[in-house]
C-alpha cells in the first residue's frame, strides 16, 4: 500500500496581508504536484512551511505521517538531512570548488557515494571536476540538482528550479526529477512560473485569492 508522504491540513498564513487560508493537500509516494501563481501570492511561503522551515499561523503539516511542528529538533534535523531535498532557483554552490566537491560535501552528511548515472542523466559528467565558477548557469543548476538527488531524499521541494534555464535544459531537468520520483517512489512539490513544466506534474494548482485552485 502506498504511503502519504506529505499531508497538509487547513494551512493559513499571513504576513502584511493574508497569503492563503484553510488550504489542504496530500501527496502519495510517486506523485508530483506543481503550484503556480503570481509573484507574491505565497508559493515560496507554502513551500517553506511544508519543508519544515516555517511554522504556519494555523493548520498542520505531516511528513511521513509525523506532525513536523511538534517534533523534537533532533528529529527534524534527521528528516532534513536524510529525507528532504530542496532545490532553489539560485543554486547556492561553492564557486571555488568543483561540482564533485560540492556534491560530496552534501552527501557526506547523508553518507551516500556519488551516483555516476545521475551525472550522466543530467549531462554533467564531463564538467563535474571543473570549478563551479567556470560552468554555465545551466550547468551550475544541474550540479545543484545532482547534489540534492544524490542524497536520495524521499521528498523533493523545488522552488522555481527551472526559472533561470533555457527551455531545453528546463525539459531535461524535469525529465530527471520525474524519473527520480518514479524510481524512488519519492514525491515532488514544485513551485513554478512555467505552465509547460507545471502541466507535466500529476497535479497542477494555482495559488490565487488565498486558495489552491485545481487546474489538473
* Residues at the site binding ligand ADP, with contacts judged by CB under 6 A: 15, 19, 37, 39-45
Grid cell at residue 68 = 513536523
Q: Is residue 192 within the footprint of Mg ion (CB under 5 A)? A: no
Residue 49 interacts with Mg ion (CB under 5 A): yes or no: no
CB-nearer residue toward ligand ADP: 14 or 116 = 14
d(CA 215, CA 36) in angstroms, rounded, equals: 10
| 31/41 with CB nearer ligand ADP | 41
CB of 83 to ligand ADP, least distance (A): 23
C-alpha cell at 78: 534527521
CB closest to Mg ion, residue no: 44
- Please report, in angstroms and rounded to a whole number, the separation of the first and last CA atoms in the chain: 24
d(CA 206, CA 41): 10
Nearer Cβ to ligand ADP, position 48 or 200?
48
Shortest CB 208 distance to ligand ADP, Å: 10
Q: Which of 44, 107, 121, 162 binds Mg ion (CB under 5 A)?
A: 44
- Alpha carbons within 13 angstroms on the beta-carbon side of residue 106 total 28
Q: Shortest Cβ distance from residue 43 to Mg ion (Å)?
A: 5
- Residue 37 or 85 with smaller CB distance to Mg ion: 37
Strands (E), 154-210: 155-159, 187-191, 203-208
Q: Cβ 128 to Mg ion, closest distance in Å?
A: 29
Q: How far is the CA of 24 from the CAs of 21, 33, 63, 87, in angstroms?
A: 9, 13, 13, 22
Amino acid at each position: 500500500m502506498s504511503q502519504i508522504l506529505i499531508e497538509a491540513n487547513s494551512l493559513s498564513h499571513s504576513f502584511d496581508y493574508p497569503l492563503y487560508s484553510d488550504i489542504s493537500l496530500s501527496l502519495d509516494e510517486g506523485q508530483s504536484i506543481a503550484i503556480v501563481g503570481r509573484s507574491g501570492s505565497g508559493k515560496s511561503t507554502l513551500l517553506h512551511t511544508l519543508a519544515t522551515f516555517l511554522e504556519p499561523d494555523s493548520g498542520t503539516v505531516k511528513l511521513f505521517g509525523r506532525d513536523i511542528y511538534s517534533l523534537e529538533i533532533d528529529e527534524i534535523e534527521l528528516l532534513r538531512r536524510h529525507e528532504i531535498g530542496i532545490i532553489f532557483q539560485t543554486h547556492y554552490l561553492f564557486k571555488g570548488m568543483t561540482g564533485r566537491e560540492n556534491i560530496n560535501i552534501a552527501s557526506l552528511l547523508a553518507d551516500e557515494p556519488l551516483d555516476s548515472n545521475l551525472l550522466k542523466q543530467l549531462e554533467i559528467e564531463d564538467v563535474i571536476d571543473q570549478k563551479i565558477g567556470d560552468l554555465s548557469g545551466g550547468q551550475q543548476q544541474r550540479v545543484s540538482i545532482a547534489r540534492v538527488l544524490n542524497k536520495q531524499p524521499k521528498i523533493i521541494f523545488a522552488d522555481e528550479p527551472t526559472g533561470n534555464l533555457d527551455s531545453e535544459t528546463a525539459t531535461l531537468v524535469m525529465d530527471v526529477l520525474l524519473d527520480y520520483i518514479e524510481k524512488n517512489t519519492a514525491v515532488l512539490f514544485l513551485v513554478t512560473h512555467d505552465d509547460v513544466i507545471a502541466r507535466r506534474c500529476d497535479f497542477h494548482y494555482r495559488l490565487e485569492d488565498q486558495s489552491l485552485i485545481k487546474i489538473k
